[in-house]
Chains A and B, each alone.
Chain A
Amino acid sequence: MLITTEVFVQPEINWFAISPFTILLAAGVFSLLIETFAPRAARRPLQLALVFGALLASFAAAALLLGTETLTAGDAVAIDGPGVLLQAVIALVALVGAAGLAENKVDPSGDAFAARASAIPGSSDERAFTAAGWYSTEIWTLFLFAAGGMQLFVVANDLLTMFIALEVMSLPLYLMAGMARRRRLLSQEAALKYFVLGAYSSAFFLFGAALVYGATGGINFNDIAQAIPGRPQTATLLMAGVVLIFVGMLFKIGSAPFHQWTPDVYQGAPTTLTAFMAAGVKLAAFGAMLRLAYSAFGALIWDWRPLLWAIAAITMFVGVLAALMQTDIKRMLAYSSVAHAGFLLVGLISGTNAGLVSVLFYLAAYAFTTLGVFLLLSLVRDANGEANNIDTWRGLASKSPLTAFTMTFLLLALAGFPLTSGFIAKFSVFAAAVQANQMPIVLLAILASAIAVVFYLRVVVLMYFRAAESTEVAVAIPSNFTVVALVVSAVITLILGVYPQPLLDLISQTPVFIR
């Protein structure tokens, strides 16, 4: 049987509507040309100018697009309220993250990335490249593609575009995770684990997409949503597909029982990259997850809600209980990010507009706090690089009061104390879930938040009320890049805590996905 020939209609592309991520992806290609043709000494300044210029342009484009609602590129991309808002937040997060990655004063030999990633750790080559003061400037090419992929991920309106965006976002991050300057074995191991589990999860996503395509006859979210009520005979196939797609997405957002890669990758990757990854991937993957749950599979809410209910409950408790037992501060924060994925799922399962608004606010608040926390971690160092063991943080307040104070503020925000963005975020998520009659899960979430306070405050207590054990650990003086990044993250955390209304209003204006 031959497939009847369809006439190919060239899709209309609204270039302005897709400009936020096209700017970043085009800049990625241009950055590759810089790598190829510019002399070594000129690469870093050129790349930095390109990265910051492209991110500012992308942010400006997203800001101008706020409130636009249009489908473009053959309905493959849905430019709508939540999508554009997330694109703007991702651009801002990438700006702050890029400032963190550009830091080259903290480590005496350069930035956080290996002088040349291909040199064998401990070899004479490695020492020669490091002594020559080389930089791996190709991280900026990878960074631009990752950021562009994140922005495409949140507006993808069919399963194929979403899969491509997922890979464009993830593949560069796998590589960058393995390129740390210090502790290179750990870093390479993190890259391997991230790659294998990431590729494994995207294969699940893809097979799920195939089953959904088989059950509904379309890959476009509008076709899928319209076909769902009319095809009861394929309901089993459809549900199998939806579950596999969600498994792939839950891997990416790092929720239990698919969270095992999170602590290893967060610990092994260069800390400044962990900052960008923890914030950016969470934003992008949750944006895509929201679109899947609300737009494509909105009619199936009674089927996916119990599933995600259980996942949310497991995720919160696995996250907080495992975080209690960590001795490495990066691993502790990785488990805390697992717990936050659970809180975000609590907002998602409410399935209402209020739930959507609260999750978007939570994502924006959480992203900047996380960026700040991980960037601060990269400053506390001893002779071998970063001092991540929790005991080395004893008495830090006497060594650097400002670092200890900022860290305390950001940790309180993660714990959800009033006057920080974390409080408003948690409150709005829980309120939305209560409105949607999801009281049991909210009680579990409040219990988990209470446990979480223990491990956040443990760090604060160590910093302020314990005497320092060694004089080796010190807070490095960063360049202006990190200072600006830290100030921006802390100020946004504060502003969203004391005056959240403008952002909440902005999100509430257009809290619907179009398809």
Chain B
Amino acid sequence: MDVTNYVILAAILFSIGAVGVLVRRNAIVMFMSIELMLNAANLAFVAFAQANGTFDGQVVAFFVMVVAAAEVVIGLAIIMAIFRTRKTASIDEANLLRA
């Protein structure tokens, strides 16, 4: 079992998430892309924990899950507030702030 494969998969997932945030215009989808990036990091941490033979990476993965859950709460609260005001979750509609 080669750890490298897991790390490459993590890198691919992270890139999909990173590009997703940049190209998708729906706040919910952008948000899902960010979650994908966090989970890619988790996969990398667990894979490296196996490679290094230490527990640190696995412990980090648990904490990241908790943080991701907290982030979901905050993010959805903000998106909901905007959705109720404007009846849309598109990022392009949020364009009042500019020079």
Which residues of A approach B to under 8 Å, CB–CB?
1, 3-4, 6, 117-118, 120-121, 159-160, 163-164, 167, 171, 174-175, 178, 184-186, 188-193, 195-196, 199-200, 203-204, 206-207, 209-211, 213-214, 217-220, 263-264, 267-268, 322, 325-328, 331
Contact = CB atoms under 8 A, between A and B. Distances in A.
Interface in B40-56: 40-41, 44-45, 47-56
Given A189-B96, A199-B71, A213 B82 contact: no
Nearest to B89: A192
Given A213-B48, A213-B56, A217-B54, A195 B10 contact: no
A174 to B, nearest CB: 6
B21 A200 contact: yes
Contact of B82 (A192, A209, A264, A267): A192
Contacts of B55: 3, 6
B40 A207 contact: yes
21 contacts: A3-B50, A4-B53, A117-B81, A118-B81, A159-B60, A167-B70, A185-B96, A188-B78, A189-B95, A196-B27, A196-B31, A196-B91, A199-B34, A199-B71, A206-B37, A206-B64, A207-B10, A209-B45, A264-B97, A264-B98, A331-B99
A203 B38 contact: yes
Nearest to A3: B53
A174 B82 contact: no
Interface of B: 1, 7, 10, 14, 17-18, 21, 27, 30-31, 34, 37-38, 40-41, 44-45, 47-57, 59-60, 63-64, 67, 70-71, 74-75, 77-79, 81-82, 84-86, 91, 94-99
B78 A206 contact: no
Given A171-B74, A268-B97, A1 B50 contact: yes
Interface centre among B30, B40, B60 (most CB of A within 10 A): B60
B48 A214 contact: yes
Given A6-B55, A211-B44, A214-B51, A195 B81 contact: no
Contact of B67 (A118, A163, A191, A331): A163
B45 to A, nearest CB: 5
Contacts of A120: 84-85
A217 B99 contact: no
Given A4-B53, A188-B81, A192-B78, A263 B99 contact: yes
A174 B47 CA distance: 32
B99 A326 contact: yes
A327 B84 CA distance: 31
A218 B70 CA distance: 26
Contact of A171 (B40, B70, B98): B70
Contacts of B31: 196, 199
B63 A160 contact: yes
B78 A325 contact: no
Contacts of B99: 263, 322, 325-328, 331
A246 to B, nearest CB: 16
A120 B85 CA distance: 6
Contacts of A188: 78, 81-82, 85
A175 B7 contact: no
Given A1-B1, A206-B37, 18 more contacts: A3-B53, A167-B71, A171-B74, A174-B75, A188-B82, A189-B97, A190-B97, A192-B27, A192-B79, A196-B91, A200-B21, A203-B14, A207-B10, A213-B45, A213-B60, A218-B54, A268-B97, A327-B99
Nearest to A210: B44
A275 to B, nearest CB: 18
B94 A193 contact: yes
Nearest to B67: A167
A394 B38 CA distance: 49
A320 to B, nearest CB: 15
A196 B56 contact: no
Contact of A203 (B37, B47, B57, B97): B37
